[in-house]
Amino acid sequence: MKTEIVIKGLNKSYGKKRALKNVDLRIEKGMFGLLGRNGAGKTTLMKVLSTLLEKDSGKVKVCGIPVEHASDIRKITGYLPQEFSMYPNMKVYEAMDYLGVLSGLTKEQRRERIPMLLKRVNLYDNAGTKVRALSGGMKRRLGIAQAILHDPKVLIVDEPTAGLDPEERVRFRNLLSEIAEDRIVILSTHIVGDVEATCEEISVIDEGKILFRGTVEKLLSLVDGRVYRAEVSRKELDRIRSSYNVTSMITLGNNVKVRFLADTQPFPGARHCDAGVEDAYMYLMQGEGENPCF
C-alpha cells in the first residue's frame, strides 16, 4: 500500500456555495502544506480527507483506499482539528487513554504508546494534569500526540499554530517535521511562515480552487525577479499601493520601507531583493487563481 493521497476532480458545495471546485492533488510522504486565506476551502478539504465530510463528486484515495470506506480510512489517518479541545476535567493520560480505546488500541498498546508519545511531545511530566490546566501550546502538543496515537500513515493538521506564541510555534513546527519522517503530514494553514519553515511540497488554495501545487522552490520561482524594495515618503506610499502589490511595510519616521511586486523596474531607487514564500503567495492571491500554476 503506497503512502500517498490522490485527489481527482473533487467537488464539495454547501447549498449554493461551492467550497471545493475540481480539486486535483497528489500528496506523497513528508510534510505537505496547504496554504490559503480564511474561507479558502482548506478545512473542507481536510474534513473530506478525514471522512468528516462527504464529497459531492470526484475521487479521493488515501493510501489506495477510497474515502467512501470511512472505517478503513479512519484506521490510517490521524486528525487534529482546528478547534482542538478535550474533556477539560480529564487528566492528560486519561484523555489519551479514552481516545486510544476509540482508536481500537489494546490495553498493552495504550500502555506502551501513551507514555512514549507524551515524552515525544514533552508532556510526560503533565500526564496527571487536567486538560483544562494546560497552556495553549501544551494543548496543541497533546493534540498531535492524540492524532498519532494509533500510528497513522496520514496525519491531518488543521491550522495548528494559530494563537501560539513564537517559541511554541517553532517547537510545534519542529515536532511536525519529526513526525513527517515516516508518514504524510498535511498542514493546513493561512500562516505562510509555517509552510515556509516546514514543507517540501505545498499547495495554495483560494475560493475552493487550487492555484498552485509544487515545491517551495517552484513557488518562489513564480516571483523571481519581481520582488522589489524601496524607501519612500509617506506621501508616495498611496501611489505605490495603488500601482503594485505591497507585501510588507515598515515605518521609519516620515519614511516607509516597502516591499512590493512588479514585473519591471518600477521607479529609480527601487531595488531587487530575494523572493520569499510570502511574496509568492501574495502574487498568487493577486491573480485570484485565474491562471493556476501546476
Which residues form the interface with another protein (CB under 8 A)? 14-17, 19, 38-41, 43-44, 47, 50-54, 70-71, 74-75, 77-79, 81-89, 97-99, 101-104, 107, 146, 150, 208
Question: CB 88 → another protein: shortest distance, Å?
Answer: 6
Question: CB 228 → another protein: shortest distance, Å?
Answer: 32
Strands (E) in 41-192, as ranges, are 57-62, 65-66, 77-80, 154-158, 184-189
Instruction: Please say which residue, 93 or 260, places its beta carbon nearer to another protein.
Output: 93
Question: CB 21 → another protein: shortest distance, Å?
Answer: 11
Q: Residues 230-264, buried b or exposed e (16+ Cβ, 10 A)? A: bebeeeebeebeeebbbbeeeeeeeebebbbbbee
Q: Which of 197, 193, 210 is nearest to 27 (CA)?
A: 210
Question: CB 212 → another protein: shortest distance, Å?
Answer: 18
The phi and psi torsions of 145 (rounded to 5 degrees) equal -60, -45
C-alpha cell at 219: 513557488
Instruction: Please say which residue, 52 or 237, places its beta carbon nearer to another protein.
Output: 52
Question: CB 247 → another protein: shortest distance, Å?
Answer: 24
Q: Residues 4-23, buried b or exposed e (16+ Cβ, 10 A)? A: bbbbeebebeeeeebbbbeb
Question: CB 79 → another protein: shortest distance, Å?
Answer: 4
Instruction: Please say which residue, 43 or 126, places its beta carbon nearer to another protein.
Output: 43
Instruction: Please say which residue, 77 or 161, places its beta carbon nearer to another protein.
Output: 77
Instruction: Please say which residue, 79 or 260, places its beta carbon nearer to another protein.
Output: 79
CB 220 within 8 A of CB 275: yes
Instruction: Please say which residue, 1 or 252, places its beta carbon nearer to another protein.
Output: 1
Q: How many Cβ atoms from other residues are within 10 Å of residue 115's Cβ?
A: 14
